[in-house]
Structure 1
């Protein structure tokens, strides 16, 4: 099994979530996070002054899936999250050694 973590733009969350659900990937964990990538923040205008924002709001989506679904899920996330602008996000893939259900 693999764990996929995707750091994405908040405004793309609904589109990504709907795409995953439509393709049978229902179980996700979502966390609101702040961070920065290579662009090192963004400049915003506030009351006529330029203000640097070093940590940009993002959403982290986590899924644990079968090894055979990794490339499909990466493709779905990339397609739904893509704007072509800096800050589209990153996807990380990790090995999952074991999963235990608490309910059982």
Structure 2
């Protein structure tokens, strides 16, 4: 199992969500508002804050879906402008379902 963590432009969230929902067996996701910066920066002003608003997506997926989810986010989030975002794939060692007490290395 892997975690796919993506930081994307807020205006792309709906389009990304619709594309992900077309993937058979898509396991679902969590979305959070976040602020940060990378190589792109906001313009300097008197109240300079370099942080830009992004949406953070967290998706825990079985190994066989990771590549299609990753590629779907990369393709759908792309606008050709700086600051489109980043997508990461992280190893997940184990998970647990609170309601049932189930614990598994492949829990989705």
Same fold (TM over 0.5): yes
Aligned residue for 1:31? 32
Aligned length: 99
Q: SS state of the match for residue 42, structure 1?
A: coil
What SS is found at the alignment partner of 1:57?
strand
How large is the Cα RMSD of the aligned pairs? 1.8
Question: Within the alignment, does 1:76 sit opposite 2:77 as a pair?
Answer: no
Tell me the secondary structure at the aligned position of residue 69 of structure 1. Answer: helix
Distance verdict in 2 for CA 1:35–1:29, change over 3 Å: same
- Assess if the C-alpha contact under 8 Å between 1:43 and 1:51 holds in 2: no
Q: Which runs of 5+ in 2 are unaligned?
A: 101-108
CA distance in 2: counterparts of 1:68 and 1:51, whole angstroms: 47
Deviation at 1:42, TM superposition (A): 1.6
State the match for 1:15 in structure 2: 15
With the length of structure 1 as denominator, give the TM-score of the two structures: 0.87
Partner of 1:87: 83
The answer (yes or no) to whether the contact 2:27–2:61 under 8 Å persists in 1 is no
Larger RCO, structures 1/2 (Cα 8 Å, 6+ apart): 1
Which 5+ residue runs of structure 1 have no aligned equivalent? none
- Kindly provide the CA deviation profile for residues 66-103 of structure 1, in whole angstroms up to 9, marking residues without a partner as x: 11211111110011100011000001111111111111
Question: In structure 1, what is the Cα distance between the partners aligned to 2:23 and 2:75?
Answer: 13
